[in-house]
């Protein structure tokens, strides 16, 4: 007697414990891989941002020092000392 797909037994429709464990393992592995990739990207972004901030600060400082050194008021005034 041929039973179609609608007349399967309850046992053949359920997942086995092994199938569920394999699925959970695959999902956990993929989650770990995705976490490592995203965490690595976040760390790299933070490092690049910090380097960029330091470089911008250095550029601003050099520009300010250059502007001060070329201004006419930047030369020191030598005052003669009074000798006793």
Domain range summary for the chain, segments of one domain joined by +: 16-51
Confidence of residue 81 (pLDDT cuts 50, 70, 90): confident
Burial 8-31 (b: 16+ CB within 10 A, else e): eeeeeeeeeeeeeeeeeeeeeeee
Per-residue pLDDT, averaged over 19-27, amounts to: 97
Confidence of residue 58 (pLDDT cuts 50, 70, 90): very high
- The pair of three-digit structure tokens given for residue 63, joined into one six-digit string: 């520009």
Q: Residue 1: its pLDDT value, please?
A: 52
Asked if residue 74 lies in contact with residue 68, where contact means CB atoms within 8 angstroms, the answer is: yes
Torsion, CA 64, CA 66, CA 70, CA 75, rounded to 10: 80
Q: Residue 54: its pLDDT value, please?
A: 96
Confidence of residue 68 (pLDDT cuts 50, 70, 90): confident
pTM of the model: 0.50
């Amino acid at each position: 007697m041929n039973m179609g797909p609608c007349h399967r037994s309850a046992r053949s429709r359920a997942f086995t414990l092994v199938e569920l464990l394999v699925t959970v393992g695959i999902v956990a592995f993929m989650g770990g891989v995705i976490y490592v990739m995203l965490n690595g990207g976040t760390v790299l972004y933070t490092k690049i941002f910090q380097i960029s901030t330091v470089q911008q600060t250095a550029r601003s400082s050099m520009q300010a020092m250059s502007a001060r050194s070329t201004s006419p008021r930047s030369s020191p005034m030598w005052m003669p000392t009074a000798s006793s």
